[in-house]
Amino acid sequence: MDAPIGIRRAETEAHLRLKRLALLWAQANGYSACAAEVTLPQCRYRADVAAYRARARERIVTAIFECKQALPDLRRDNCQTAAARERLASVSRRRQVLEKHLRVHYPTLRTGDSLFPEYDSHDFDAIGHRGYGRVLREFAALQNRLYGGTKFECVVRYRCANLFFLVLPNELFREAEVPIGWGILADENGSLTLLRKPVWHDNAEQTRLRLLQRIALAGTRQFNRAFAITREEIVAASGSV
């Protein structure tokens, strides 16, 4: 059976449920144009759900909804760059100090892989130093978060929308774990409750229009998939117009 509209095949039922609730909540709150899996303007990310609202005598509003079903999933995208860089610098200095002392106390770790002794590398893993191992693991984790886990921060920085909402199970909500400025929509018994209002972000009219276009494109792709319309059929049909 084909996947439902806008659903990736590897997506879990829990994540799909949150996306459905986000789409329902958005439309119930006046967002008449909505779609799932929308490629965002001005950055490389894709929103779980994006929405556009244009009411008479009201300003146009665009919103992005990110659905997180588990705490590790939430933490992966919620890296605060400044704090992470500061911690990475601290861990890097700690690693350098440890390596300096290990070279002195364990001269046999020299690998001899260079023509010049001063450029030889050292096999620090050979001694299984616990403290050094912990530093390396934290250093790698910080680098992964810093260079691959800044989605929440980036979509706000580039003002991809006016409002940003995090959609998650009610039991997952922890004030310290959610991104600053994002609204919180918590799933409890099959409906979303607004636990925290989002901060408003001004952006250009052109940016709002581009997001609306991306929503329309995503909706078209999803309905093409639902009705099994292929690119080849579209090209063939265009020749008869």
pLDDT for residue 2 is more than 60: no
Give the model's pLDDT for residue 113: 43
Average pLDDT of the residues of the chain: 81
Structure tokens at 101: 């002392």
pLDDT digits (tens, 9 = 90+) for 162-197: 999 999 999 888 776 677 788 999 999 899 999 989
Order the strands of the 61-67 sheet from edge to edge: 33-39, 46-53, 61-67, 163-169, 183-188, 191-196
For 5, left (φ over 0), alpha (ψ -120 to 50), or beta? beta
170-188 b/e (C-beta count within 10 Å ≥ 16 → b): eebbeeeebbeebbbbbbe
Contact criterion met (CB below 8 Å) for 84 and 139: no
Give the Cβ contact number of residue 99 at 10 Å: 14
Domain positions in the chain are 13-71+150-238, 81-148
- Give helix then strand counts, H and E, for the chain: 7, 6
pLDDT at site 124: 64
pLDDT in tens, 38-58: 999 888 889 999 999 998 888
